[in-house]
Amino acid sequence: MCQALTEHLAEDIEALTDLETLLIAELRAEGIVLWRVQRDQNGTPCARRSLSAEPWSALYNDGVLSGQEFRRITRPRTGSRIVYVAAAPDDRNAAETMSWLLSADPDAATFQCTTPVEDVLRDVIARSPLIRWYDLVVLRRTRSGRPMLLTKRLFPPGATSGDRESFTVQCARSDMHGTAFAVVSSRSKERGFELVSLQSAKIPPGTYQLTAELRRPGVVELHNVPVELRDDQRSWLELIASVPERLERVRASHLVCLVEASGTGDQVSARFDRVKQLLESIASQGDGQVTVSVISYGSHAVDVGDQDDTPFVALWAGTVDGAIAVIDRLARRGARPIRYTRAAQLECALAETAKRLDDDLGRLALVTIGHRPPFPPKVDTSEIIPCPRRHDWHTALRRLSEHPGAKFGAIHDNDPDDQVWKQLGGHAHAELSTGAFNPRSFAAKLDLTTTGADSVPFPLILAEED
C-alpha cells in the first residue's frame, strides 16, 4: 500500500464536508479513471468511479497530449480537491501525462502508487472516523404505558472501526418481520436522524446483552443476537406504524422451580412433566423477560450414620430453553430414593433460594412442585425429625415474600389445606393427582406471560421508573 497516498487521502476524507467532493484521477495504462468521494446523508464517505476509463487516445492527438482536454476531464467542481495518482509508471502515456502535470501545476497533489486506488480508498474509508452520532432506535414504556421512541447512543463522532459498545435490551414478542434493529445517525440530539442500517430477526423474547461493533462508517454489526439478522426492507413509516399504542408492562421475572425429586417413579415423572409444560408455555406465550432456576430436592437422611445431602441446584439464572433441557436431564435421572416418608428438604430448597436470590434478575416467581411438607427447624409435635441444618421454612418463605412483586405457585399432591403448601400456592396452585393442569393459566397467574400483548417492532429499554 502506498503510505503517502493513504495518509493524504485519510486527511482529505476526514476533512471532507457534506458539500465537497474529493476527486481522484487514477492514471492507468488504459487511460484515466476518475473517483469521486462524497459523504452521504449519514456523513459516510462514499467513493464512486467513472463508468469507464477515459482512453489516452482521447487525450493524445498525433502523440501530443492535449492539456486542455486533460483539464476538462479532470476538472473538479467548485470547492473540491483533486488528487492525481500515477498507477502505471511504465506506461508511456501515463508517465508523459504525469510529467506534463508536474510542470504545468507544480502544487498539484500527485502520487505514484501501483496499488489500485479502489483498494486504497476502501481501506482509508473503512478507517475514517465518524462525523455523526450513531444510535440504536429503541422503545421505552412510559409510566402511562405509552411507547416512547428514542435512541440508545452507540458511537460518538470520532469513533473508528473496531470500536465497541455493549448494552442491554429486551426483545418482546414481535410480528412476522421480527424485531428491527435500526441504526441512525445524527449531527446532534436536537437535529433529525438519518437511517444508517435496518436489520431484523425473529428473536425469542428475552433480555439480551448485546455488543455493537463499528465495522466501518455506515456499517454497525450487532453481536450476541441469538438469531442471524437480515436486511429489513420495510420503510421507516411502516415501522413506525407498527408500534402499538400501548406497551404492556414488561417486568423481568425470575422463575425459580423447586421440584421434589423423591417419591415413586410415576410421581416424580409427573412433577417434571408439569414443570416442562409450564416452561414450554412460558417459552411460547411469555414476554421473554423470564430467567429460570431449577432446584431439585429429596429427603434428609434422618438416621444417624446416613450421609445427608443438600438440594441440587441444577440451573441458576438460565434461559427458559436451558431450563427445559435441565428438566429433561433430571427426568431421565429418575426418582431419588425415599429415605423418610414424612418430610422433604423443602425448607433447605427455600433457604437456598432465599440465599441466592438477586432482584437484578427480576421479580420472583417461585413454583414448588412436590408432595411432602418441609422438615421443621427443631423438634415439634409433628414428630418430624428436625432439619439437620436447622433451616426454617417460615423464615425462608418470609424472606422470599419480602422481595417486591414476589408471586408463589404450587403444584402438589398433598392435602390442599396443608399450611405450607397453601402458602407456597398463594397465587397459583394445581393438584398433581387430578391430571388437569393448565400451564398457560398457571403462568399468567404468576405474571409470567402477558397474554394478548401486541407485537413490538423495536427493542425495548427499561427506564429507571420501571
Partner 1 sequence: MTQSIAILGAPVSGKTTFLAALNIALARQNEGWKLVGADPASSERLVTLTHQLTERSYPKATSGIEQFSWMLVGQTMRTERRRWFSPKQQHMDTVKVRLDLADPSGEVANRTRHALRDELIKNLVASHGLIFIFDPISEFERGNTFRYTFSVVAEMAQLMFETPEFSDGYLPHYVAVCITKFDEIRIFRTAEHSNLISYDPDDHGFPKVDNDDAREFLAQLCKVSKTRNAELVINTLEQYFRPDRIKYFVTSAIGFHVDPITETFNLSDYQNTVRDEANSAQGPSAYARIRGPVFPINVIEPFEWVSRQPILTAGG
Q: How far is the CB of 262 from partner 1 (least distance, A)?
A: 13
Among 106, 305, 337, 404, contact with partner 1 (rule: CB under 8 A): 305
Q: Which is nearer to partner 1, 192 or 305 (CB)?
A: 305
DSSP 86-152: E--TT-HHHHHHHHHHHHH-TTSEEEE--S-HHHHHHHHHHHSPPSSEEEEEEEEE-TTS-EEEEEE
- Say which DSSP state 318 is in: E
Cell numbers 418430610 label which residue?
A: 343
Three cell numbers at 15? 476533512
Interaction of residue 337 with partner 1, rule CB under 8 A: no
Interaction of residue 310 with partner 1, rule CB under 8 A: no
Distance CA 152, CA 228 (A): 21
8 A C-beta contact, residue 83 and residue 109: yes
Distance CA 340, CA 349 (A): 17
Among 386, 409, 439, 459, contact with partner 1 (rule: CB under 8 A): 386
Distance CA 46, CA 407 (A): 56
Single-letter code of the amino acid located at 141: R
Distance CA 203, CA 424 (A): 33
Contacting range for partner 1; rule: CB under 8 A; set: 26-34, 52-60, 186-194, 338-346: 338-346
Interaction of residue 307 with partner 1, rule CB under 8 A: no
Q: Which is nearer to partner 1, 157 or 388 (CB)?
A: 388
Interaction of residue 311 with partner 1, rule CB under 8 A: no
Among 64, 304, 404, 464, contact with partner 1 (rule: CB under 8 A): 304
Interaction of residue 342 with partner 1, rule CB under 8 A: yes
Burial 56-74 (b: 16+ CB within 10 A, else e): beebbeeeebeeeebeebb
Three cell numbers at 50? 467513472
Among 340, 393, 442, 458, contact with partner 1 (rule: CB under 8 A): 340
Q: Which is nearer to partner 1, 64 or 304 (CB)?
A: 304
Distance CA 139, CA 133 (A): 18
Q: How far is the CB of 380 from partner 1 (least distance, A)?
A: 7
Interaction of residue 377 with partner 1, rule CB under 8 A: yes
Give the count of residues interacting with partner 1 (CB under 8 A): 17
Among 379, 398, 402, 463, contact with partner 1 (rule: CB under 8 A): 379
Interaction of residue 378 with partner 1, rule CB under 8 A: yes
Q: Which is nearer to partner 1, 325 or 379 (CB)?
A: 379
Q: How far is the CB of 413 from partner 1 (least distance, A)?
A: 14
Interaction of residue 303 with partner 1, rule CB under 8 A: yes
Sequence length of the chain is: 466
Alpha-carbon distances, residue 201 vs 58, 116, 174, 229 (angstroms):
52, 37, 9, 5
Distance CA 193, CA 39 (A): 16
Interaction of residue 383 with partner 1, rule CB under 8 A: yes
Q: What's the start-to-end Cα distance of the chain, in Å?
A: 53
Interaction of residue 457 with partner 1, rule CB under 8 A: no
Q: How far is the CB of 327 from partner 1 (least distance, A)?
A: 27
Among 41, 341, 419, 438, contact with partner 1 (rule: CB under 8 A): 341
- Say which DSSP state 413 is in: S
Interaction of residue 381 with partner 1, rule CB under 8 A: yes
Positions touching partner 1 (CB under 8 A) are: 302-305, 340-342, 377-381, 383, 385-386, 388, 390
